[in-house]
Amino acid sequence: IFTHHNSLDFIYSGSRTMRQEFHVVAQRLVNILLFLTIDTKGFIQHSTQISKFKPCAMSSLADELSYRQPNKKDISTCFDIEKASYPSDEAASLESLTYRQQQASPYFLCALLDDKIIGFVCATRTNHFEEESMSTHDPDGSFLAIHSVVLEESNRRKGFASAMLEMYLDKVQTENDGSIQSIVLLAKEHLLGFYVKCGFTVTRPSPIVHGKELWFELERKMVRTTLNEGESWFCKSEFFKKPYPDVKPYLEEHKLWVLEMRKSGHCITSGYRVDGSGRPGGGGLMFLAAKTYDEAQSVILKDPLVANDCVDWVLNGWNSQVGDIEIR
């Protein structure tokens, strides 16, 4: 009913202009709902799961592509492809592409056909997916924000874009040490289907203003952030039982262990408590998801701080009464 203009006229009786605007918003809302609810072909993973990439349909021509990171001399070629692919008020500048190649080179990948660059994907890391943060790169950012997925016009509709994005996502997932929580991007309405088929989920119309058209935010989770069906939250609290110099080497092992657990699909986060002045000393705190107390305890016993008898610790289940937890 929301896509039928005459029906909308019964719902909203304002001016013609306002009704037209309402029609557009309603149509876009329906499109979002459709993308959020399609699951019959396995295109969308539930938001509590790590997204497992499902390749889009690709032609055999895609096998002819090779990939590499760009060097300084390649950026002018990338810029030519960029400005031919976006309106002038949306295309990245030569300076922006140069910055991304210099500062975020692990996340800049070119596709080549017969040793010639025909397209690229580039991104930067950030802790906040917002307009101000998209012009800089934070090497420790928990979000990987994709800025461009572009191909030469003569090489479009051949399966190259799907192949290029698949290769990029595969590379990021393989190299991720658990510190990248999600891959995020902006897309216009007509490209939502492409990204959904490539493992992304539409989250909302974006408040980010980029050019004149409405953009939508999409996300592909890299680590779990909430409970799976049948799981509960568990909390481990701890205090050092040895002098800090004796514990310090195992603290580094602990951090690496948590990162590896997150990378392998566990929903877990770890940190320490501080006082009102931000000084540590309140002890460590860890939240993790598990189906039973015994399962949670078996995980805790593998923690280097516990296995090397560095801490006195207590494990408790945590039952939500008001609200819930989503970790980062």
Specify which residues 186 forms β-bridges with.
217
**In which residue are the tokens 């997916």 written?**
129
pLDDT beyond 80 at 50: no
C-alpha span between 215 and 263 (Å, rounded): 30
pLDDT of res. 310: 95
The helix (H) or strand (E) run that includes residue 196 is helix 192-197
Q: Left if phi > 0, otherwise alpha if psi is -120 to 50, otherwise beta: which for 230? A: left
How far apart, in Å, are the Cα atoms of 42 and each of 39, 189, 201, 240?
5, 21, 12, 46
In whole angstroms, what separates CA 214 from the centre of its chain? Answer: 20
When mean pLDDT is compared across 15-29, 44-58, 228-242, the lowest value belongs to 44-58
Structure tokens at 86: 């976006």
pLDDT beyond 70 at 52: no
Specify which residues 316 forms β-bridges with.
235
> Do residues 38 and 158 lie in contact, with contact meaning Cβ atoms separated by under 8 Å?
no
Specify which residues 221 forms β-bridges with.
182
pLDDT band at 226 (very low <50, low <70, confident <90, very high): confident
pLDDT of res. 29: 59
**Backbone dihedral angles phi then psi of residue 83, each to the nearest 5 degrees:** -70, -20
For 110, other C-beta atoms within 10 Å of its C-beta total 24
pLDDT of res. 177: 80
Q: Which amino acid is at 138?
A: D
pLDDT of res. 135: 86
Higher pLDDT residue, 15 or 327? 327
pLDDT of res. 196: 94
User: For 25, how many CA atoms within 13 A lie in the half-sphere containing its CB?
Assistant: 8
What is the DSSP secondary structure assignment for residue 264, as one 8-state letter? Answer: T
CA-based nearest residue to 220, from 206, 203, 204, 200: 200
pLDDT of res. 59: 54
C-alpha span between 152 and 82 (Å, rounded): 9
pLDDT band at 28 (very low <50, low <70, confident <90, very high): low
pTM of the model: 0.65
**Burial of 232 per CB tally in 10 Å (0-12, 13-18, 19+):** middle
pLDDT of res. 48: 37
Higher pLDDT residue, 20 or 46? 20
When mean pLDDT is compared across 46-50, 117-121, 245-249, 294-298, the lowest value belongs to 46-50
pLDDT band at 32 (very low <50, low <70, confident <90, very high): low
pLDDT beyond 70 at 270: yes
Higher pLDDT residue, 3 or 78? 78
CA-based nearest residue to 271, from 257, 253, 284, 281: 284
End-to-end CA distance of the chain: 38
**Backbone dihedral angles phi then psi of residue 150, each to the nearest 5 degrees:** -135, 150
pLDDT beyond 60 at 254: yes
Q: What is the largest CA-CA distance in the chain?
A: 74
Average pLDDT over the chain, rounded to an integer:
84
pLDDT band at 60 (very low <50, low <70, confident <90, very high): low
**293-325 pLDDT tens trace:** 999 999 999 999 999 999 999 999 999 999 988
> Do residues 300 and 313 lie in contact, with contact meaning Cβ atoms separated by under 8 Å?
yes
**Backbone dihedral angles phi then psi of residue 45, each to the nearest 5 degrees:** -90, 150
pLDDT of res. 33: 56
Structure tokens at 204: 């909302």
pLDDT band at 21 (very low <50, low <70, confident <90, very high): low
Q: Which long-range contacts (CB under 8 A, 24 or more apart) does 253-258 make?
A: 253/304, 254/303, 254/304, 254/305, 257/302, 257/303, 257/304, 258/178, 258/286
Percent of the chain with pLDDT over 70: 81
